[in-house]
Homo-oligomer: A and B are copies of this chain.
Amino acid sequence: MKRVSLKDIAKELGVSTATVSLVLNGKNEKGRVSKKMSQKILDKAAELNYVPNTLAKGLKMGKSRTIGLIVADVSNLFFGTLALHIQVFAEQKGYSVIIGNTNEQLKAMENAINSLYGRQVEGLIITPTEKSQHLLIKLINNKIPFVLVDRSFPELAVNSVLINNYEISYQSTEQLIQKGCKRIGLVTYKQDHYHINERRRGYEDALKQAGIYDPDIMEEVRYDFLENDTRKVIGNLISQKEKIDGVFFTTNSISINGVKGLIKNHINIQEDIQIMCFDENDAFYILPYSVPFIKQPIKEMAKNAVELLIDQLEMKSEGTKQVVVNAELVLSRNSI
């Protein structure tokens, strides 16, 4: 079925498209179009089921009312939830969302940016991949508004929405210490993401503060070999001559795999070893022992990212802004 255009309505009514456009956009101030005609146009539009062509409008107006969202990982709950919340908030503000995916690949991020740019997005919300600073700088030079979420580069003055990675990690580690842990291991990614490193720094500082810092029980795993590497480092950790009594996992995926590894090695979580996990997971509510974890306020992050971006787009705001939302330390399973 051919789509109904302004022209179709105009033709049926014997008026010009200008008149129709004026009426349908509520722009007939000062009685430019008569009541009667207005009504006829409105009626006809409804009758024909007219839906304006957003592309044409966007082309003419130079505004697409679309924002691009570039996320990292297809199969990660965190990004999925973030994406869908962003969509909801954006829609509330009258913007549509087109998504792009990087799979943590720099090249894919570049492609996504170009593709979305070609689709005339007015701005971008991005969870940048490692070493993507130059792409962001290009965006800045081209004056394309964007907001980073979840991750950022401290050396770049850009809009961002992050959680308090350092602080919450420090506090979480302190918790373990308060519980009596003396040798707290770490499992983190081997990479160069600021936000992950901040988590590590928080952990390290808490240990130093308590005087129990030991680099020997800090392990790194590769993103592309997460399962195997985690299994391996868990093995390392538990076979230390001086037994460890706690572990801090710096991401969701590491937490899951770390817990799996501990269980597989018949470690009794909470009795033999205390753990602290980054990110929420349904599993933590279900396990027969209480798993303390750091809950990221995903919805709030989404909200802030959308607002920050749209403020930029609508010129409500100048300069860059760094928003930090607080993660929450969930100790007891009061939800059960």
A residues bordering B, Cβ < 8 Å? 1, 3, 49, 51-56, 58-59, 64, 66, 71, 74-75, 77, 79-81, 83-85, 87-88, 91, 96-101, 103, 114-115, 117-120, 141-144, 256, 259-260, 263-264, 281-283, 285-288, 335-336
Name the residue among A56, A118, A286 with the largest chain B CB count within 10 angstroms.
A286
Inter-chain CA distance A75–B80, complex, in Å, is: 8
State whether A64 and B55 are in contact (beta carbons under 8 Å apart), knowing that A80-B81, A84-B83, A286-B287 are contacts in the complex: yes
Inter-chain CA distance A296–B278, complex, in Å, is: 27
Return the chain B residue nearest A80 by Cβ. B80
Inter-chain CA distance A260–B282, complex, in Å, is: 10
Contacts of A1 in B (CB 8 A): 141-144
Q: Are B101 and A119 in contact (CB under 8 A)?
A: no
Q: Are A99 and B87 in contact (CB under 8 A)?
A: yes
Inter-chain CA distance A101–B84, complex, in Å, is: 8
Q: Are A74 and B81 in contact (CB under 8 A)?
A: yes
Cβ-closest 6 pairs across A and B: A80-B80, A283-B283, A74-B84, A54-B118, A1-B142, A51-B118
Inter-chain CA distance A142–B285, complex, in Å, is: 47
Q: Are A260 and B288 in contact (CB under 8 A)?
A: no
Return the chain B residue nearest A261 by Cβ. B336
Q: 6 more A-B contacts (CB under 8 A) besides A52-B118, A77-B80?
A: A54-B118, A59-B59, A74-B84, A87-B100, A96-B115, A260-B286
State whether A96 and B84 are in contact (beta carbons under 8 Å apart), knowing that A101-B91, A286-B259 are contacts in the complex: no
Inter-chain CA distance A143–B336, complex, in Å, is: 49
State whether A98 and B96 are in contact (beta carbons under 8 Å apart), knowing that A120-B53, A282-B282 are contacts in the complex: yes
State whether A51 and B83 are in contact (beta carbons under 8 Å apart), knowing that A263-B288, A286-B287, A336-B263 are contacts in the complex: no
Inter-chain CA distance A81–B80, complex, in Å, is: 6
| Nearest CB of chain B from residue A270's CB, rounded to whole Å | 12
State whether A84 and B56 are in contact (beta carbons under 8 Å apart), knowing that A98-B98, A115-B96, A260-B285 are contacts in the complex: no
Inter-chain CA distance A51–B116, complex, in Å, is: 10
